[in-house]
Structures are given as structure tokens and as C-alpha cells.
Amino acid sequence: MDSILVTGNGPLSGQIPIAGAKNACLTLMPATLLSKEPLTLTNAPRLSDIKTMTALLQSLGAEVSALQDGQVIAMSSHSLTSHVADYDIVRKMRASNLVLGPLLARFGQAVVSLPGGCAIGARPMDLHVEGLEALGAEIELKDGYLHAKAPGGLKGAVHEMRFASVGATENIVMAATLAKGTTVLKNAAREPEIVDLVECLRKMGAQISGEGSSTIEIQGVDRLHGATHQVVTDRIELGTYMLAPAICGGEVELLGGRMRLVESFAAKLDAAGVSVAETDKGLKVTRKNGRVSSVDVVTEPFPGFPTDLQAQMMALMCTAEGTSVLEERIFENRFMHAPELVRMGANIEVHGGTATVTGVERLKGAPVMATDLRASVSLILAGLAAEGETVVSRVYHLDRGYEHVVRKLEGVGAKIERIKGQ
């Protein structure tokens, strides 16, 4: 099993290109199931999760091809052969559940395994089910599979979600594009990935308004057509690499970054003593003077502080001046990186959904183990600023969400290498 060796090497300088958003691309790919005509995505990230979604769509009979070194994904669902999303594929990745709404909308039936992915909480499907049932679906859980049907087709409805779930919003919006009549989805998630999905669906002929707000209105149409769409910049990769110069010092420009994607995160960095400025090419990040200052963080749905940047922010707070409190309100079990940071000399106390971090002057390199996708990169960030060598094991998690992480960090002066397993 591969590992990554990181050696603390001082300030960073240069540019890092930011890829297309993993979470957006994984949402856009199932949209091909809504139409018989081709859907082409550009600026696609080259990640193992994208390969998993490709395998899932192909298992349903869709044609999926990766072009231009994987940055273009060409898809066609003109002749699907199955409406069953099998456990062997779905268990690998949470986003696999996003085939449920499109299959149900186009074919009136779907059988989808309960999903897997990172071990950061149960993340149940109840919000997805409630929304689709509001549109007239009949859904039953049997033997670990959701059996869904809509014999008379889906029908528009007014539905208010109990929580602004991103995945449930995406599933319901896709399903509603082919429902009869108008759907009004209240307490909808507002993430940029949802705005990106709606923009793509609109290119395919969907009639949708209100994306980016808490109320989305969808007027159902009889059919959708093909389209070409560019995947939005990955705000989580962007935020992750913004933290590299914040932790190590120096100045790094993130190519393709936009402030609108990370406003609440950038505000926290500013309060900690890190400058973030928009340029013609992206965002330039510079640590102002000396040690950063501690700041408190509460994870919230967009436009609040992203849960997917909590682990990375904790790595920064480990060497901040003062004490910070990080409260996780989105997922349970999302402080599994804390004990690994403690192995590197961090002072962290975890009580339920709250972590208290008292900054130390310097971390020390140590062998550590990645427990999930974002935890893995938080340990790499910590290793960049630690004395000596840090070896991060179980980095297969990393491949799910970050392309060419070693190459990108090497390009700005980091001392980092990937060690092939036996």
C-alpha cells in the first residue's frame, strides 16, 4: 500500500493549478441518464471516484469515454440495459446514490444499493427518499437496496427538506426535471456544485430557477437533450492548497480560484493573519507575519465554513498562537485525524462534535495514518510545517479527491514524494 513522505522544508512559492470539482463532476455524470442524447463534460478531474462513477454508469448500459487525458468525459445513455445500481460498485462511493433520481425520472423504476464511501458518519438516505416520495415515487428498502418505482411517472410537488442536504437536493432536482408539472423545493442546499448542476441541466433543456438560493423551482419537461458543460473549479481543493502557504509561509497563487467559492473560508484565514487576494489568474495567498492567530470554526452548509475543509483547518490551528475551538455540525465521526495530529505533537482535545486545539510552536514528523479523504491531506499539510519526516500511510483515500497532489506541492517547493507499497 502506497504512502507519502513529507519533509518540512520552509516557505512555499509559485503557482498551483486547481482542478475541476470532484463533487460537481460526480453530480453531473448521472445527469446523462436523463437523456438519450450525448452529454460531454470538460475540465473533469482525474480521480479514482470519477472512475468509480464511470464504472457504475457503464454497468447500467451507458457509454462513457475519457478523452484528452481524462479531462473530457463523453457520455451517452441512448440505450440503457439496467436500472439496478449494484452494491459492489455503490459501496465504494457515497455519490453513487445520485443515479436514483435520474433513473426513476426517465424509466419509472430504480433499484439502488445503500451507498458507502468515507467512514465519517451514517449519512442516511432518508432525505432523498422523502423528496422523491413527495414527487409520487413508491420506495421500499429490501436487503440493503432501495426499490423505487413511479408507475404513473413523477409529478411536481411542493416539498420542504428537514435539512439542506446537498445530495438530496441534487437527486430531487434531477428527478423533477422530467416530472409532470412544477416542483418547488424549499430549504434546498445552496452549494456552488448545485448551481453548476442546474446550469448544465438548463443547457440540456430543463426549466429551473432559484439555484443558489434556498428555494428552487423546476418546471418539468417531456425530454432533455444533449449538451457540453465545463465543470466548476473545485472549491475544496482550492481551500486545501490555500492552507499550504498559510501553514508553511511564503506566497502561492491558486490558478482558477475564485473568491465567491470560498468567501467564508477566506474570511477565517484573514482573521488568522493570512492574506487572500483575487488576481487575474486566481487567488494569491500569503501569510502576513510570523505565527498565525487562533480562530474558532463552526462547519455549516454553504455559504458557511465547509465541513470538507475542517480537517485541513485543524492542521493550521495546531501551530497557531492561542486556543481555537472547531465545532463539526455536518457529520459525526469527523475528528478521526485528531489523534494522528497529536502523534505529531499537536495539543487537541475532542469532546463529541467539538475539538479544542491549543497551538504549539512546532509539530514534529511522525508516522501517521489517513482515515478518510480530507484527513489524509490534513496530515500532509501538517507534515509540510513539521520538523523532520512525516510518513502518511493509507493514502488511497487521497486519490479519491486530489489529482497529482505530490506534483502540485513539489511545484511550489515542498519536499514530498510518493512511496510505492510492496
Query: What number of CA atoms fall less than 13 Å from residue 416's CA on the CB side?
Result: 26
Strand partners, 216: 185
Q: Report the sign of the C-alpha dihedral through residues 102, 107, 108, 109, in that order.
A: negative
H or E element at residue 93: none
Cis peptide before 151 (omega within 30 of 0): no
Strand (E) or helix (H) holding 65: strand 63-67
Task: Scan for cell 507519502, then name that residue.
Answer: 4
362 labeled part of a ligand binding site: no
Catalytic residue, chosen from 118, 200, 248, 318, is: 118
CB 184 within 8 A of CB 140: no
Q: With left for phi above 0 and alpha for psi between -120 and 50, is residue 117 left, alpha or beta? A: left
Cα separation, 317 vs 314, whole angstroms: 5
330 is in an annotated binding site: yes
Phi then psi for 88, rounded to 5 degrees?
-60, -30
What's the first-to-final CA gap in the chain, in angstroms?
Answer: 7
Give the torsion sign (CA, 194, 199, 201, 206).
positive
Is 123 marked as binding a ligand? yes
Tell me: is residue 126 an annotated ligand-binding position: yes
Nearest to 282, CA basis, from 305, 260, 304, 264: 260
- Who's near 325: CB < 8 A, 6+ residues apart? 296, 297, 354, 355, 356, 357
Q: Which three cell numbers stand for residue 47?
A: 480521480
Annotated active-site residue 248? The verdict is no
Coil, strand or helix at 249: coil
The pairing of beta strand 72-76 with beta strand 39-42: antiparallel
Please check if 97 is assigned to a binding site.
no
Q: If you search the block for the grid coordinates 485543524, which residue do you land on? A: 314
Q: What is the identity of the amino acid at 89? A: I
22 in a labelled binding site = yes
Task: Give how far the C-alpha of residue 19 lies from the chain's centroid of Cα atoms, to the nearest Å.
Answer: 12
23 assigned binding-site residue = yes
Q: What residues form the annotated binding site for phosphoenolpyruvate? A: 22-23
**Catalytically active residues, by annotation:** 118
Q: Which residues are annotated as a binding site?
A: 22-23, 94, 123-127, 308, 330
Q: Annotated binding site for UDP-N-acetyl-alpha-D-glucosamine: which residue ranges?
A: 94, 123-127, 308, 330
